[in-house]
Each structure stands twice: as C-alpha cells, then as structure tokens.
Chain A
C-alpha cells in the first residue's frame, strides 16, 4: 500500500506526468482550461467527443495532443511541434513585406464556402482527419486567397479549433493555477492576479525554513503558493477566525509531495492568540478537530486509502461536458493530498509562540483588516515583514494609519500592481486589446519591537 502511495506521489519538480497526478489541460490555446487528475479511466469531453486521458500518462509537461478519430472513436494523439524550418522562414519574409491584399473584395453573403455541412459529415464518416477537413474547407473557400495572410492564419486557426482541437498538457504550479482561475473563475480567488500574488510572496519574504502565518480566503491559492516556495521546509499556518476553516481546495491541485503537505497546517486564530495551554485544553481541541474533519469533507483528513484504487476520472468528463467554459475541478480525493491542512500540533503552536512567525500574509477581504492585523502582528518575530491583500483601498488605508499611530510597524506602503501584456509580431507589435485593469491593493511593512 505504501508503495502505491509512493508511485502516485510525483515530486514537485517532476517534469513527467504519472498516474494520479494533477494536470492543467489547456484546450485550444486557453479557450478552455481544465484541472484534471490523470487516470487510465479518466475521460475528457471536447466538443461532442469523449477522449481518454490515458495517452497523457507518462508524458512530459508541455506535450501537445490533438483530437483524432481512431478505430474506437476519438483519441488524443501526441503532436510533435515542427522545429521551425523553411516554410516559416518564407512566411516570415511575406509578413515583413508590405501586405498588398485587403478586404475590399470581401462581401458578407455567406456564399464563400461551397462545402456543405453534409459534405463535411461525409468526410468525417469516411475517417478524414481534422487537418484534411481544414484543407478541404480552405480549398473550397472562394475568398481564402483574397484574404491577407494575417486573416488567412486566423481562418486556419478558427477551423483548427473546431475540427482538430488541441490539448496542451500543463504543470499545475502557483502561476498557472492563479492565471487559470483569474481567467475563468476570478471570484473564487477574490480577483487575486498572478502579479499581485507574486508580490505578496516577495513582500512577505517567503523563503525556506520560514514559518509563514496566512489568512487565506482565496480558496487555498495563497496557502499552496507559500507551500510551493517553502519546498517542504518550515510551515505555512493557515489560520481562521471562529471554528470553521476556510476552503483550501486549490491546494489539492498542486502536485505536492507528502513532505510539502506535512508543512501545510491549520489553526484557529484563537489558539494562536491564547497563552500556552494546559494538557486538558489540548485534548479538548483534538475533539473539536475531529468534528471539523467530519463536517468539512473538502479538507477531510479522514479520507480512506481505498479511494485511491477507485480513480473517479469519469467525473472530470461529466463536469467538462456540462460546463465548458469553467474550470472543472474534479472532486476526487487522493490520499496524497489528504495530509495537507492537518490541525497544527500543540508543540508546533508553542514553538511559534516562543519564536514568533517569520512573516504574515493576509488575503481575507471578508474580515476587518485592522482588527485582524492588530491581533496577529504581535505573533510575528520582530523585524518580520507582512503583506496584506485587499480589493478595496479604504480598509488598507485605515489599517496603515492605525499601524503608524500605534508605532507597530515601519516601511509601510500601499501599492497597486499594474500588468500589461503585449502582442509582439513583425510590424504589428502593440499592447493587447484587452487587459485586466485592476489587480488589487497590497499593504506591506515590517513589524518593529514595541517600545
């Protein structure tokens, strides 16, 4: 059994997929992003075709697949990208020349394409490959030759997405997970953009052997990103107000080893604030902990090992079919993720009380920033940095003011990151037409000794 667990535990830096590992599937250049767990029985629905994820097991992250029709239905076939040769050289030369064609002769009367739906269906039933259908569509298009080379390429790409969808195998790491959620499901991570997240990690000096206190109401993205940087050293303490921990589902999307999972612990803030406890209190807390595991099965530590042998991959394809534009997070619990988020042991809490946390990161827009910081800051070592994320400016301004007045911290600064992506193409370089206009605010500073 233990060897079974081993084999489903790729280490963080692994560049190959294995059975049971978590992957990010990028379908047609980001049109659809799916988080999935690889299992022989897992299926992914693309368009109206259902494909097994089996061919993806044991491949390098970064591998590209294309949906093709095989004898037993659709399958994902590995595509090796061409190392660029003469064809593209020629294309590039064309691009550099001033384009003489334009859209003056194009008339939108829906008559340009002479191939009918039935024709295409017939080709398909005769086993034509996606690429062949695309070539046929181009050959039968009355206007294709008159288009500029840019719009020819756009046309080709549009048809490729429909008739020969591509699936790119991606490694789920803090960056890719954050970007995927931000694009498809931003509310779940409270609109925490990847550059903002990266700043939080820097500003809080997240480094090996640190004990980082976090308040994570962004679905576990923050906790996971911190754990990734700790690499199985130190601790990330995911703390919460009251008795119910906040969801940290996203932690399970990272391919964390047991070593890293062990370093992700949770604790109610009240436990961190009270003085060192007597043994009776400890027992009492253990009871509470068990009850929580039962009521919150998302983070349950009581998942049984036999669930491993039941790869419930079918859930992926079902979700995928229903909800094409969403990120589909399979509700699969594999044993390796179950260790993440155990209740912090009393000895560990005592050590934190004795030494202080190395830094603090807060992404908790639902809690009152100032009172939270006021209570948590004394838990940090002196000279420890902290970073607080919020979508609104006022709570951070108030908090900063109070910290200044109370002489609790120095180097205080509110910053707002700004991120712009560019299209870089020969003679056609410009900022992308769409951008995220807002990535949130960060209040950062360094705790000082109280005088």
Chain B
C-alpha cells in the first residue's frame, strides 16, 4: 500500500502483477479488496472477471467481464482500505482518522501506541504517517481479532511498520519497555480512564494523547483523570457533510419579457406545460449542489491532551 520501497510506487510504469492487492471499484459505495491471483476469477452482478486479464494493466484501468460489464481496479490506499475492510468492530472513519493524525502531530519516525486495534482502520493510517522509519505498536485483548488484524497488515504490506500485541491495556496498562518512548498514544477503550496513567508513563515529555469515546460520560471521567499529568485537554467532535450534484435543464423565459437576472428562471419550471406566455422559453442547463439528506450524526468525541512538561 505504501511506497516504502520505490518499486511499489504508483507510476505510469507500474502495472498490476500477480499477488498485488487491488481495490475493485463498482461504485463509490461498492468496492472490494481482491488479491490478484493468475488463475482466479471475480464474480459479481456484472459477470465473471478473469484475474489474468488484469495482469499487466495499469492501476486505474477499467476492466470488462465476460458479459461486457466493467469495474475499475484501484491501487489500495488507507482511505480505500477503510471503506472495504471487514468490520470486526466499530471502526474509525476518515474525518476522525485525519484529525487524530494531525492533532497527535504524527510524522515520519514517530513511535505511536494504540489500544485497541479493533479492525485496524486507524492503525493503517497511523502506519502511513510514521513510515518509513517510525513504528506503530497496537494492542487488543482479543486474540482472534489481533490475529485477523495481523493478517490484514500482511495483506496491505504494512506488517513491517506495525506490531500487533495481545494485551488488556485497561487491566494491565502498556508494557514498561516502552516507558518514555512514545510520541503519541491513542486510546479507543470502553473505560479509557483506567489506561490513562499508563499512557502517561509511555509518553515522551510534551507527547500527545487522544482518547476516542462515543459517550460524553466516558469523556467526563477521562478528562478528570487527565488533569493529573496532562495539560491542553481539549475535546472535539468532527463530522462530514457530503454533497450531491446534478445537472438539470430548466426552462426560462427568453425574449423581451425576460427577467434580467439569469439565475432566476428556475422557479418557473412547474408552469412549463401551459400558457402561451412561455412559448418563447429557452432551456438553461445548470450544475447544482445540495447536501445529502442523510449523514452520520455522531461517531465519537475526540479528547486530546499533552503530557505536562516537568523538567
């Protein structure tokens, strides 16, 4: 997924080869991760796609099925991965992920600790941010989930940047071997306040912490616990509103009776089936945008803090 070695870099001269992970794009809300394997086929409502037809094509190609249906083959990115990964838990989405990475000041070379791993949605973006020289240590108390996450990171080619460990951070805290080494800690736990003292121990001076909690009561308790050794404690909520656009032809009045302002005629549309008055109408095409009617109304509260600087 990352261009850590330059052979992997996206390029006009980089072609899909056997063993590559591709994101098969049907529509923006219908994508699927597929590992290319010479003798395999992909079957969906558009027909049967032979992987062998894909090999040697550039990423971003449109490929056809036996029935003439088509999909696009995209190079995987953490954003696309977040949309296609298998949900073993509730996951973080792009708005929260982006904000967390920027606010935690994660840059190449950073050592980042995360608990829990969950489905690895954030972990993938953390790995991108610390690459090529940093590392992400991620912890989950669920053995099977940790194993699945490890498999995913193997598949996305990130396993050299991420260590997945099985550990109950709320109960045991982080391991002391990382004390004072972490640039940033991210917590997504049901009772984050239990892990905060240990997180403080892991952080470098002025290191950053983020706790993601869906409920305000969790935030309340976390913030109280943070007071002890953290400063700059701030809580945010970040959401996205998406827009749909469409081009519409709308009738307007032309000729001497025209309204001077060109953008007004759209109001007259309903009257198009009638009177002589509109016989001289002309049709104008406009691209319009409006917010989508439904959106995610809440994901979680993001509480950030900075380790107090004592020396």
Binding site for B on A (CB under 8 A): 12-13, 15, 60-64, 80-81, 83-84, 88, 92, 171, 173-175, 194-195, 197-199, 201-203, 205, 207-210, 228-234, 354-356, 358, 381-385, 393-394, 396-398, 400-401, 410-422, 424, 426, 429, 441, 446-449, 451
B59–A382 CB distance below 8 A = yes
**CB-based contact A422/B219 at 8 Å:** yes
Interface contact A202-B125, CB-CB below 8 Å: yes
Contact with A along B102-122 (1 / 0, CB 8 A): 110101111000000000000
Q: In the complex, how many angstroms separate the beta carbon of B284 from the nearest chain A beta carbon?
A: 14
Q: A397 near B301 (CB under 8 angstroms)?
A: no
B97 sits at the interface (CB 8 A): yes
Chain A residue contacts of B237, Cβ below 8 A: 419-420, 422
**A-side binding surface: helix, strand, loop or mixed?**
mixed
B1-38 vs A, CB cutoff 8 Å, 1 = contact: the mask equals: 01110100111111000000000010010000000000
Q: Which residues of B contact A (CB under 8 A)?
A: 2-4, 6, 9-14, 25, 28, 58-62, 72-75, 77-79, 94-95, 97-99, 101-103, 105, 107-110, 125, 128-129, 131-133, 183, 204-206, 216, 219-220, 223-224, 227-229, 231, 233-243, 245, 247, 287-289, 291, 301, 303, 306-311
Q: Are B245 and A354 in contact (CB under 8 A)?
A: no
Task: Pick the residue among A12, A92, A418 that contacts B241 (CB under 8 A).
Answer: A418
Distance in angstroms between the alpha carbons of A385 and B226 in the assembled complex? 38
B98, A199: Cβ atoms under 8 Å? yes
Closest to A205 in B: B77
A383 partner, pick from B3, B10, B228, beta carbons under 8 A: B10
Q: How far is the CB of A261 from chain B (nearest CB, A)?
A: 15
Task: Give, as a whole number of angstroms, the nearest-CB distance from A253 to chain B.
Answer: 15
- How far is B245's CA from A15's CA once the two chains are assembled, in angstroms? 46
In contact, B236 and A422 (Cβ under 8 angstroms): yes
Q: How far is the CA of A384 from the CA of B105 in the complex (A)?
A: 25
Inter-chain pairs besides A15-B206, A441-B243, 18 sampled, C-beta below 8 Å: A195-B98, A199-B95, A233-B132, A354-B12, A358-B3, A383-B59, A410-B25, A413-B242, A416-B242, A418-B239, A418-B240, A419-B238, A420-B236, A422-B236, A426-B220, A426-B224, A448-B61, A449-B58
Residues of B within 8 A of A419 (CB): 99, 236-238
Flag if B98 contacts A231 (CB, 8 Å): no
| Chain A: minimal CB distance from B228 (Å) | 5
B94 in contact with A12 (CB, 8 Å) = no
- Taken together as a complex, chains A and B put the C-alpha atoms of A396 and B289 apart, in Å, by 9
In chain A, what residue has the closest Cβ to B103? A175
Shortest distance between the CB of A162 and any CB in chain B (Å):
22
**Is B77 a contact partner of A385 (Cβ separation < 8 A)?**
yes
A62 touches B12 (CB 8 A): no
Set B10, B79, B291: member contacting A203, Cβ < 8 A:
B79
Q: Give Cα distance in the complex from A232 to B107, angstroms.
A: 11
Taken together as a complex, chains A and B put the C-alpha atoms of A73 and B159 apart, in Å, by 57
On whether the beta carbons of A229 and B219 are closer than 8 Å, the reply is no
Contact of B102 among A62, A83, A198, A231 (CB under 8 A): A198
Query: A381-B11, A420-B237 known; A202 and B60 CB under 8 Å?
Result: no
CB distance from A63 to the nearest CB of B (A): 5
Judging by beta carbons under 8 Å apart, are B79 and A202 in contact? Answer: yes
With the chains together, A385 CA to B77 CA distance in Å? 9
Cross-chain contact of A83 among B105, B228, B241 (Cβ < 8 A): B228
The distance in angstroms between the C-alpha atoms of A449 and B12, with both chains bound, is 10
